[in-house]
Amino acid sequence: MFLSFRKPLLKARGMRFPALGVILFLSFFNATGFAQDQNFEDFGQFENPVGTPLNAEAEKLRIETNTAYQRGDFKKVIELANRLLASYPSDFPHFAYHMRASAQIELGRQARSSKQIREGVSDARTAIGLAGTKHPWLYIPYLYGLTSLSEVEKRHEHAEMAIKTIAPVLQREISDIFTAENKADLLYQRALAHTVKTDLKAATIDYTEAIRLNPKHLGSHLRRAEALAAQNRGKETQAAYDEAVKLFPETVVVINNRGNYRRLTGNLDGAVADFAKALELDPAFGVGFINRGWCLADQNKPQDAKANFDEALKHPLDPSLQFRAYNLRALANASLGDADAALADYDAAVKIAPKEATIYEERACAQFFKKDFAAAANDFAKALELNPKLGRLVPFQTLTLLRAGKTAEARTVLDTAAKTKSAPHPWLAKLEEFLADQIDAQDLLKAAAEMEPAQSKVARLCEARFFIGQKKLLAGEADAAAEQFREAIATNAFAMTAYRGARFELGDFAGTK
């Protein structure tokens, strides 16, 4: 998920950085990177490589091409670059090839099209051939294209080619035509190639050197912090984000990204403060509302979280962000006891991503809360059809079938799970054994308390109490079931489906507003 922060012409392009851990890390800055490069107004300082005077009409077209690139109209960039090459083939032609290369690579990345990225790489190579020794920034789309190709085709040799190609250029002495800023841009590009190869140590070294050469190199500050985080270098990561915020206190993406890191490390108050600052700087920053809402949900403030997701959906969001906002708002609505509103949000999310298995899983849980067990069973089956590896669904799918009175089908699900080649997580195995009457309630509670990792004990106890309560309901022991559900709620494992399910069973949402 990305939010566009497009910088002026010829800024270095970046790569999507791998998500940190299992959390969807909402960095949201897109493929366009942040490295500083040559601005358009400086082009006139360079002599035309083919020796002819610059044409005023061509200059206007170049400005128009730049404007189109700034607004992300890459098809228009290609059209204008083609006009420049057709009408003014001898007037600064490396600019036209450079811009067409950049646009083709951006479009190729969006479409995951190797063919279009390769066309961009070819144009970039032509631009380098025309004037690369004079203007090192011409290497940027070539390197970016190779790194993008490596990412799309999952072939490291393209990234390796980018690294080898730029090595001799980086050995040049700093001069009027190869400035410290130029070298920083190229180091940034090499770092991105290292990242694709998962050599984060080498990437960090290049980002650090780029910052030394150009202390205001925004892209390197952000990517270096991410690389450090991915290496579990916590103190250095926090220092890197703090330094970036100090240098760029009015830049939304910097503050947003520190907020994401703070959330990731459990500093929810600090994260909320960062997202509040980002929204103060840009009140239309839809992603900021999603991020702040997510933190508030983590703090068990579903009403406040829902208000933020409501606000996020009032602003323009790309489909993936809309999907995330609906999904998170559905969870907030479920936490507030409004299953109908949750289902409406899940329905909206399904329309956006009809092949995303997890959204059927989550909608099934909301249907379970409403006691529409037939609909829940259908959604669990759909989720497994889309992703047969979702073994975590087996306990809830089995329970749903039992509550629907389909004992034979529930037994089939458990038998099938027992015969799978890959063993389930030990805790899931215990839940399955409990549902199959192979262990009793005390055995389940003992397993929840003793199983590693210890930090998951509260979540396991919440689930254990919920499933024990469900079996009590099936046995007609309503009072005993209610006691188990109260025990589940008492764990305060409010992020768990079982916690929300226990509240629905009791109709008790006190303290969640």
Taking the domain 2-45+53-248, which CATH number applies?
1.25.40.10
Query: What pLDDT score does 350 carry?
Result: 98
- Cα distance between residue 402 and residue 93, in whole Å: 71
Query: What is the per-residue pLDDT for 426?
Result: 93
20 — pLDDT class (breaks 50, 70, 90)? very low
Q: What is the mean pLDDT of the chain?
A: 89
Residue 19's pLDDT is what?
28
Instruction: Give residues with Cβ within 8 angstroms of 207, minimum separation 6.
Output: 187, 188, 191, 220, 221, 223, 224, 227
The answer to whether residue 41 scores a pLDDT higher than 80 is no
| Residue scoring higher pLDDT (30 or 99) | 99
**pLDDT per position as a tens digit, 322-336:** 999 999 999 999 999
Q: What pLDDT shows up at residue 510?
A: 77
pLDDT of res. 17: 25
* Listed range (72-86, 123-137, 434-448) with the worst mean pLDDT: 123-137
The whole-number average pLDDT for the span 455-462 is 95
Q: Which pLDDT value is given to residue 420?
A: 80
Quote the pLDDT of residue 368: 98
* pLDDT over 70 at 300, yes or no: yes
* Rounded Cα–Cα distance for residues 438 and 433 (Å): 5
Is 60 exceeded by the pLDDT of residue 306? Answer: yes
What residues does each domain of the chain span?
2-45+53-248
Q: What is the pLDDT of residue 52?
A: 54
pLDDT digits over 179-220, tens only?
999 999 999 999 999 999 999 999 999 999 999 999 999 999
C-alpha 257/C-alpha 58 separation (Å) is 40
Tokens linked to 341: 């509103």
pLDDT score of 434? 97
pLDDT at residue 346 greater than cutoff 60: yes
* Pair of tokens at residue 390: 């979702």
User: What pLDDT does residue 54 have?
Assistant: 67
Q: Assign 146 to helix, strand or coil.
A: helix
Quickly list DSSP for 152-194. Answer: HHT-HHHHHHHHHHHHHHHTSPP-SSS-HHHHHHHHHHHHHHH
Q: At what angle do helices 218-230 and 234-247 cross, to 10 degrees?
A: 160
Lowest mean pLDDT among 20-29, 153-162, 171-180, 331-340: 20-29
Say what percent of the chain tops pLDDT 90. 83
User: How many helices (DSSP H) and strands (DSSP E) are in the chain?
Assistant: 25, 2
In the structure, what pLDDT confidence band is assigned to residue 36 with cuts at 50, 70 and 90? very low
pLDDT exceeds 50 at position 34: no
Residue 230 CA to residue 225 CA, distance in Å, equals: 9
Could you tell me the pTM of the whole model?
0.84
Half-sphere exposure of 306 (CA within 13 A, CB side): 18
How far is the first Cα of the chain from the last one, in angstroms, to the nearest whole number? Answer: 29
325 near 312, Cβ under 8 Å? yes
pLDDT in tens, 72-84: 999 999 999 999 9
Query: With 50 as the cut, is the pLDDT of residue 18 above it?
Result: no
Q: What would the mean pLDDT of 163-189 be, rounded to a whole number? A: 95
pLDDT tens sequence across 374-390: 999 999 999 999 999 89
Write down the pLDDT at residue 53: 56
Q: Nearest to residue 224, comparing CAs of 251, 184, 196, 191?
A: 191
Which tokens hold the place of 448? Answer: 């929840």
pLDDT average, residue stretch 273-279: 98
